[in-house]
């Protein structure tokens, strides 16, 4: 079972519905017992980083999640803001994240974007750059749906598993051991996103 972590932010229902379409057993929960029972965790999120960290801390789940992910090595997938919260720090609100991956969350560089608007919104191709179980049997020319003003900046490039291009190349997916993240929204990305969620469900803990 996948526990979709409910901390007050995120497209919880759309993720749950996508899992249902794929016959993936998933539950939206903030219940510590449900989280402990789950074989995998999914941390969604949309909105402001500072609010996301505040909500997560107020939920009282940070210690439990840290124990489950870093000690029990339970697989976790962060999506959009949920993935950003796994980084060390964000320029959005100048706030520290969970620090589970070796990256910062930074604002798009307006000078490099030229006339491109912020946020980056819509469909973009991705380029897979390191092996990850999430890309197993992914269809050719994969495209995913993005909505974001900030992106990952990795200190360890080996943790980057995919890049996208918006004015310049940026990391859009990562993996560090049992910790996975995507800046894009698999639940809004049709067949490509379905394959990513299907692959995550098959990851061995």
Q: Catalytic: 30?
A: no
Q: Is there a contact between 114 and 168 (Cβ–Cβ < 8 Å)?
A: no
Q: What is the pLDDT of residue 100?
A: 98
Q: What are phi and psi of 39, to 5 degrees?
A: -85, -25
| Residue in 19, 92, 120, 187 annotated catalytic | 187
Q: In whole angstroms, what is the distance from residue 27 CA to residue 184 CA?
A: 21
Q: What pTM value is reported for the model?
A: 0.97
Q: Which of 48, 148, 151, 185 is catalytic?
A: 185
Active-site residue flag, 111? no
pLDDT the model gives residue 172: 98
Please report the pLDDT score of residue 205 as a whole number: 77
For 174, the token pair is: 């990562």
- Measured over the CA atoms of residue 18, residue 5, residue 160 and residue 24, the dihedral's sign is negative
pLDDT tens, per residue, the chain with 205 residues: 999 999 998 779 999 999 999 999 999 999 999 999 999 999 999 999 999 999 999 999 999 999 999 999 999 999 999 999 999 999 999 999 999 999 999 999 999 999 999 999 999 999 999 889 999 999 999 999 999 999 999 999 999 999 999 999 999 999 999 999 999 999 999 999 999 999 999 998 7
Q: Output the pLDDT for position 115.
A: 94
Domain coordinates in residue numbering, the chain = 2-202
Question: Which candidate in 48, 80, 92, 198 is catalytic?
Answer: 80
Whole-angstrom Cα Rg for the chain: 16
The CATH code for residues 2-202 is 3.40.50.880
Supply the pLDDT for residue 10.
78
> Can you state the angle between helices 12-21 and 190-202, rounded to 10 degrees?
80
Q: What is the pLDDT of residue 131?
A: 86
pLDDT at site 192: 97
For residue 145, give the H/E element and its range.
strand 143-148
Q: How far apart are CA 3 and CA 28, in angstroms?
A: 6
Active site residue 185: yes
């Amino acid at each position: 079972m996948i526990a979709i972590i409910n901390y007050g932010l995120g497209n919880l229902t759309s993720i749950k519905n996508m899992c249902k379409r794929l016959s993936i057993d998933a539950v939206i929960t903030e219940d510590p017992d449900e989280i402990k029972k789950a074989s995998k965790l999914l941390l969604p999120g949309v909105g402001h980083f500072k609010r996301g960290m505040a909500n997560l801390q107020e939920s009282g789940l940070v210690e439990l999640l840290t124990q489950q992910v870093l000690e029990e090595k339970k697989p976790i997938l962060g999506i959009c803001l949920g993935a950003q919260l796994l980084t060390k720090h964000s320029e959005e609100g100048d706030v520290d994240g969970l620090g589970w991956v070796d990256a910062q969350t930074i604002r798009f560089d307006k000078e490099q974007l030229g006339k491109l608007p912020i946020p980056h919104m819509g469909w973009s191709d991705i380029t897979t750059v390191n092996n990850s179980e999430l890309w197993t049997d992914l269809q050719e020319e994969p495209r995913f749906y993005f909505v974001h003003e900030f992106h990952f900046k990795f200190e360890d490039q080996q943790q980057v598993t995919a890049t996208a291009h918006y004015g310049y190349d940026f990391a859009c997916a990562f993996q560090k051991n049992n910790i996975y993240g995507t800046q894009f929204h698999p639940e809004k990305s049709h067949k490509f996103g379905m394959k990513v969620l299907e692959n995550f469900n098959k990851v061995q803990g």
